[in-house]
Amino acid sequence: MEVREIGEFGLIERLRRALTGGHPRLLVGIGDDAAVWRAEGRFLLFTIDSLVSGVHFLPGRHPWEDVGWKALAVNISDIMAMGGVPEVAVVALALPPDMPLDHVDSLYQGLEECARTYDVTLAGGDIVQAPQVSIGVALVGRALEGPEGPLLLRRDGARPGHVVAVSGPLGESAAGLRRLLAGAPADDPLVRVHLRPHPPLALGQEAARKGIPCAIDISDGLLQDLGHVARMSGVGIELWAHRIPIPQEVWSAFPREALTLACAGGEDYQLALVGREDIVLSLTPPPTVIGRVIEGEGVRVLDERGHDVTPQERGWNHLRQR
């Protein structure tokens, strides 16, 4: 059997079973947006993500400054999804020896811009030779704390009766990528959303402070990511197509595919929140309620008449045979 036969998430589960050793200080391990480790006097969050040339970005189409910004932003999104505070990052840079120095300078300019925006310190890293460019960022953060311990947003906290809400519009990034590949310039509004995600970090922290139990960042697609929540919480999720916030620009550019782009396009880096409706709507700005948690399993999308309109495509899955 090859890894493509089980895909990214099947491989993650296989590795989780293989790594049987635990530790009393490890509060959250494989399977959530970030690991949580009990240190002396605080709770640390750890996450890591990589951007690989030809997989996550295309040199010549994706400006290097934006690649650098995104390499850090996607990690900040993971810390956001746990309700935490990002603090220190290190960068593992793999690149071919003939890469122009000005491209490296631009890459690090984008990294630094994102770090300043989110008050993250870039503390160093590693450089190795490789046939293609890869930027791996490991980010350490801390959990907010209350009287009884860390205030964490978890994937396993959804319960029947909770509402599902999202922090902002969906489908813009996937639409922007399509426009970029079709030749649209980097300053096209939809392309800008794809190139420079802005995870709503403060909203995740407010949600943690107010006791919302469950969240996930929308990176691989709304259906794919909420599927993780449903599976880990042992529940079903019902979404309402007419409530999903799809901007008019996406409808205008891709009228037949707008719902699929919003549900499965991925890379929105918005926050999906699951909890009591009154608490969810008390957040600032209030998220958009798009569904509810029910008894059962899986995620489905219904139209206003209750008909199932779930897109066949679920989202991005690395390694899956296509």
- pLDDT, tens digit, 9 for 90 and up, residues 65-86: 999 999 999 999 999 999 999 9
pLDDT at 231 over 70: yes
Pairing of strands 298-302, 236-240: parallel
User: How many structural domains are present in the chain?
Assistant: 2
**What is the reported pLDDT for 2?**
78
pLDDT in tens, 236-270: 999 999 999 999 999 999 999 999 999 999 999 99
* 159 and 287 inside one domain: yes
Residues 178, 291, single domain; the answer is yes
Average pLDDT over residues 206-233: 96
The pLDDT of residue 23: 73
Residue 8 is predicted with a pLDDT of 66
Residue 58 or 230, more confident: 230
Q: Are residues 86 and 7 part of one domain?
A: yes
As a whole number of angstroms, the distance between CA 23 and CA 15 comes to 17
- Please report the pLDDT score of residue 202 as a whole number: 98
- Last residue of one domain, picked from the residues 132, 150, 168: 150
Q: Which residue has the tokens 């293609």?
A: 132
The mean per-residue pLDDT over the stretch 8-13 comes to 68
Tokens representing residue 129 in the block: 């030779």
C-alpha distances out from residue 14 to 37, 217, 258, Å? 22, 23, 34
Q: Which residue has the higher pLDDT, 55 or 133?
A: 133
Task: Indicate whether 173 belongs to any domain.
Answer: yes
Token couple for 195: 């190139």
Question: In this structure, are 79 and 201 located in the same domain?
Answer: no
Which of 133, 150, 167 lies at the terminal end of a domain, its last residue?
150
Q: With bands split at pLDDT 50, 70 and 90, how would you rate the model's confidence at 178?
A: very high
**Ranges 7-16, 93-102, 180-189: which has the least confidence:** 7-16
Q: Which of 150, 185, 218 is the last residue in one of the domains?
A: 150
Among candidate residues 56, 3, 2, the one with its CA nearest the CA of residue 267: 56
Beta strand pairing status for 214-217 and 271-275?
Answer: antiparallel
- Give residue 134's domain range: 3-150
Q: What CATH number should be reported for the domain holding residue 254?
A: 3.90.650.10
Asked, for residue 126, whether it belongs to a domain, the answer is yes
